[in-house]
Chains A and B, each alone.
Chain A
Amino acid sequence: MNAVPDLRDVVASARGLEKTYRTPGGDVPVLRGVDLTIRRGESVAITGESGSGKSTLLHLVGGLDAADAGALNVLGVDLGTATDRERAALRRGGIGMIFQQFNLIPSLDVRANLAFQARLADRHDPGHAAALAEGLGLGALLDRYPEQLSGGQQQRVAIGRALAGNPPLVLADEPTGNLDEATGDAVADLMLALVRRQGSALVLVTHSPRLAALCDRQVHLRAGRLA
């Protein structure tokens, strides 16, 4: 049984989360009652086998999908009742997202991609963006387009984009899954260092035990439940 957290410290809180996907072959339950609390500034790794519900949990926390049952509060927003507009506002202002596929905007250059979410949230700080770009080793690549970058470089841009607005919560879905081991390690180290420096909370979905070990806490999902 978890201790009752200090609510001022909690950035995300899930109670009894359930999610089932309806497919032509029948219903596929993915989450079967998940309780999870993320505190300010902590990094949490979610591990588990493929299909265990890791990414689904992350998507629910990010307001990208809605749970079928349970309570989920992220940065003070009750996602059980939030409208599409409120979820969008939460993602825009409170959450930085890092995807396995990078998901950069291909028609914008690195500089515009880096600043994109911060500007979307009206929190663009050119000095901070420049420092992030330098810290990520992107200083010489600012005028390039995503297709002109390697996978590792693209993921560094995605990390920069997620952090540029100083969000209190960063969600990363297999951020090194598309990178080779050496590049992945370098990117992961950089991401964790920057997240900690900013004081953001990090929820990281990963298959990598090494990456998970770098986080403050690990939770393991098995068949839709926290093990």
Chain B
Amino acid sequence: MNARLQRWRLVLGALMSHWRRRPLQLAMLLAGLMLATTLWSGVQAVNAEARASYAIAADRLGTGALPRIEPAGGARLTTADFVALRRAGWMVSPLVEGRLRAGAARVSVLGIDPVTRIGLAPGGPAGPGTEGDLGAFITPPGLGYAAPDTAATLAGADLGGLRIVIDEDAPANTLIVDVGIAQALLGMGDRLTALAASAGQPDGVPPLERVVPGLIRTDPQGGAADPAALTDSFHLNLTAFALLSFIVGLFITQSAVGLAFEQRRGVLRTLRALGATRGEALGLMAAELAVAALVAGAAGIVLGWAMAAALMPGVAATLSGLYGADVAGSLQFRPGWVLSGIGMALAGTALAGARGLAQTARMPLLAAGMAAPWAQATRRGLRLQAAGAVALVLALPLCLAWGGLVGGFAALACGLLAAALLLPVVLDAVLRLASRGARGVLTGWFVADTRQQLGGLSLALMALMLALAANIGVGTMVGSFRGTFTGWLDQRLSAELYVTARSEDEGRRIREWLGPRSDAILPIWNAEATLEGQPGRIYGVADDPTYRENWPLLAGAPGLWDSLAAGRAVLVNEQLSRRASLRIGDRIDLPGGAMPIAGVYSDYGNPSPQVMMGLDEFSRRFPDAPRLYQAVRVAPDRAGSLAAELADAFDLPAGAIVDQAQARRVSLQIFDRTFAVTAALNVLTLAVAGVALLTGLLTLASIRLPQLAPVWAAGIPRARLARLDLLRTLLLAAATGAYAVPVGLGLAWMLLAVVNVEAFGWRLPMQVSVPLLARLALAALLTALAAGALPALRLARITPGRLLRVFADER
């Protein structure tokens, strides 16, 4: 056994001494793995943190595990209904949910009744209110439980004397108070949002409908409002991006591992000739790769943690902005993503090393240590790649037909992989054409040499193409989103001022005051309602040219504004139209009776269904809806002074009056923050592709001296050879960039027309941005320049002795 161990140590030492002599190659191998793991585990850490936040919210709020009873079709649910149900024997507990503005931030408020809540899920967490002073919790001004970050946000906010208690287990960005305190804070009177119900009700309780008509019971996780379900698309999106980056990182690893296998063919042959078995050689090479995977994987996880910590605030902003889900902006250690990172590093290394190991296993003992067939694009290899690409293209419509988010992403993967596989085939064809037209001996050599190098560089160029296509695709999607969003904001925020009153009485007085001082006052009142089974909102709007001329309609029946004003029809937002398959002319169930749909409008950034109706019809159906909010039309140059006068006249707090420019600015800020994560991942992917290119070039540089030495000997100076090398890299990058444009635009179309519709329920018009394409073309060239500079510099400085040795070695 000792002899065997000694032998393994020796063989491993001989194999690993290769890396000692080539530290740069080792660095590239580790860097590739590390970068791949960093991006993967970073995104997994972000996802794990967000999912943990949802789970905490579900556990802590009692919204996850327990069924809910909610008012159907916008009916009211009051404290009296709750009392009636309790008296009838129903095991229910009241819930009040809403959003509270605290300075620039908005915090979710959750009102619970700690006493009735405990009986619903015996053995579950007791939760706030039961762990401290119950009397202080339920008696005004009350106690409010909040996580440290939320408590900091609320510091200084006017909460009517509420005392904040730090609760490490509280859900992110949420204030938990007694139900009565929540009603007061949110101005809801005696209204409740829902009732949490025990999963098993006592025998003999009367049916819900008989006790309180107009209520519906929903099972846990079944509603569209469940943040975990709502945000699945976002997390899938991030995971897809991480997987793409992981694959790009693996290209670096594959490049380094492939070259190392080729360069060690001779050593392997010698080792086996001297008595090492095939199994030992293979096993030890696999062990060597596994050690590299573990080392680089561990480093990648540490970097991934740092990356996730940097991204987390952006992710929290995205989830809040797009989905209304509250997620902590900080990061905790979770074993799940660490194991996933190590697992991916090992799996990725196995994938990257599989070819080399298989070749080693098949390699006859007497095969000559061939000069880097790794670097040669064989005709058979190109044919196989083309065949693979065709197969993937054929699979694409099948994925689309499968449908859903997973089908959409699978179609994206097929398209991108097919395009990547075809890149070397296309470049080879272009170079073959170029070789026919090449004039002059040096040009001819340049084209032929470039073609010969294609095999060695193809993986790196594929990585660059994928990174550029992802940048173009995602950049175009975000650009389209932003462009559409900006246009939509202009239409939607067409009034000059938006004013929120503190009470209905103040609202009425404000409207009277504004009457002679403005061109028009447009009350915007709303009520919560369940729309096609999902919680949503119904708005009542005035009949005014502001809407008729500006509202962002996607489709509308003739005379829709007249129908709306007369209370004969309603408008629905795009999300509701798509999710419930509602078209113009269809009828929609609403509190107070169904109404026909006269139009569909775009409503970006809102995850919930929405309905618009005429103000008179709204007032008739929702007499108790708070009348606090109104838009004001006034000459734009008078808006500022009118806002100041209004604030003075009513002593309105900051934030009660929002002017159009401010609202637009804040909305765009939220939008940009929302997509900061995507932008960061874009840059990282491109950087990884740059490293992949550098690896490819450096490894090629080390094995292509035999091709360069004769040209140098024939009279081409080293500096010129270096310039030609750099030019070749730039030309290949430019060609790859040009190829990436249609691929990226195809990706953008898929994202906008398939993935986004599945994820958000909206379809955005695609807007191709020429500046974005120009910027990325420049980025491709700069990446190539950065990657090509070092190998070119090394070539320019190579000693004649090293070039001469090529001839000596060829004796």
A residues contacting B by CB (< 8 A) are: 59, 62, 64-65, 84-85, 88-93, 97, 99, 103-108, 116-117, 119-122, 145, 161, 178
Contacts and interface: CB of A to CB of B under 8 A. Distances in A.
Nearest to A115: B10
A150 to B, nearest CB: 10
B7 A122 contact: yes
A122 B11 CA distance: 13
A161 B270 CA distance: 12
Nearest to B809: A147
Contacts of A64: 273, 365-366
A85 B17 CA distance: 24
Given A103-B269, A105-B267, A116 B366 contact: no
A103 B17 contact: no
B292 to A, nearest CB: 16
30 contacts: A59-B366, A84-B278, A84-B279, A85-B277, A88-B272, A88-B276, A88-B280, A90-B275, A91-B273, A91-B275, A92-B274, A97-B273, A97-B274, A104-B270, A107-B17, A107-B267, A108-B14, A116-B10, A116-B14, A116-B274, A117-B274, A117-B275, A119-B10, A120-B7, A120-B10, A120-B276, A122-B2, A122-B3, A122-B6, A122-B7
A73 B365 CA distance: 20
Contacts of B404: none
Given A105-B267, A107-B20, A178-B811, A120 B11 contact: yes
Interface string B20-46: 110000000000000000000000000
A91 B279 CA distance: 15
Contact of A105 (B270, B278, B366): B270
Contacts of B3: 122
Interface string B779-811: 000000000000000000000000000000001
B18 interface: yes
Contacts of A105: 14, 17, 267, 270-271
Contacts of A84: 277-279
Contact of B270 (A65, A93, A103, A119): A103
B10 A88 contact: no
Which of A97, A116, A178 has the largest number of chain B CB atoms within 10 A? A116
B6 A91 contact: no
Contacts of A92: 7, 274-276
Contacts of B274: 91-92, 97, 116-117, 120, 161
Contacts of B2: 122
B275 A65 contact: no
A55 to B, nearest CB: 9
A154 B208 CA distance: 94
Contact of A93 (B6, B21, B275): B275
Interface residues of B, number: 29
Chief secondary structure at chain B's binding surface = helix
A52 B3 CA distance: 39
A103 to B, nearest CB: 4
A178 B3 CA distance: 35
Nearest to A90: B275
Interface of B: 2-3, 6-7, 10-11, 13-14, 17-18, 20-21, 266-267, 269-280, 365-366, 811
Contact of B366 (A65, A85, A107): A65
Given A103-B266, A105-B270, A121 B275 contact: yes
Given A88-B272, A103-B270, 11 more contacts: A64-B365, A84-B278, A84-B279, A85-B277, A103-B273, A104-B270, A116-B14, A117-B274, A120-B10, A120-B276, A122-B2
Nearest to B264: A107
A108 B17 contact: yes
Nearest to A55: B366
B218 to A, nearest CB: 66
B21 A88 contact: no
Contacts of B275: 88-93, 117, 120-121
A35 to B, nearest CB: 23
A120 B273 CA distance: 12
B94 to A, nearest CB: 75
Contact of A119 (B6, B269, B811): B6
A174 B279 CA distance: 29
Contacts of A117: 274-275
A62 B14 contact: no
B23 to A, nearest CB: 12
Contacts of B17: 105, 107-108
A149 to B, nearest CB: 13
B267 A65 contact: no
B326 to A, nearest CB: 56
Contacts of A91: 273-275
Contacts of B811: 178
B611 to A, nearest CB: 74
A62 B273 CA distance: 8
A107 B13 CA distance: 10
A92 B3 CA distance: 12
B372 to A, nearest CB: 15
A59 B366 CA distance: 8
A116 B275 CA distance: 11
A60 to B, nearest CB: 11
B279 A107 contact: no
A156 B783 CA distance: 48
Contacts of A145: 21
A106 B21 contact: yes
A92 B280 CA distance: 13
A145 B21 CA distance: 10
Contacts of B13: 108
Given A91-B274, A103-B270, A85 B11 contact: no
A107 B278 contact: no
B273 A106 contact: no
Contacts of A116: 10, 14, 274
Contacts of B273: 62, 64, 91, 97, 99, 103
Nearest to A96: B274
Contacts of A104: 270
Nearest to B270: A103
Which of B13, B272, B275, B276 has the largest number of chain A CB atoms within 10 A? B275
Nearest to B811: A178
A173 B636 CA distance: 96
A62 B280 CA distance: 19
Contact of A88 (B269, B270, B277, B366): B277
Nearest to A147: B805
A36 B12 CA distance: 37
B673 to A, nearest CB: 52
A143 B446 CA distance: 41
Contacts of B366: 59, 64-65
A28 to B, nearest CB: 15
Contacts of A62: 273
Contacts of A108: 13-14, 17
A88 B281 CA distance: 11
A226 B20 CA distance: 47
Nearest to B19: A107
Contacts of B20: 107
B5 to A, nearest CB: 10
B652 to A, nearest CB: 78
A106 B277 contact: no
Contacts of B280: 88
Contacts of B270: 103-105
A178 B809 CA distance: 10
Contact of A107 (B6, B7, B21, B276): B21
A136 B372 CA distance: 34
User: Which 7 A/B pairs are nearest by Cβ-Cβ distance?
Assistant: A92-B275, A107-B17, A88-B277, A122-B3, A91-B275, A103-B270, A107-B21
Contacts of A122: 2-3, 6-7
A145 to B, nearest CB: 8
A59 B276 CA distance: 16
A50 B663 CA distance: 89
A76 to B, nearest CB: 16
Contacts of B21: 106-107, 145
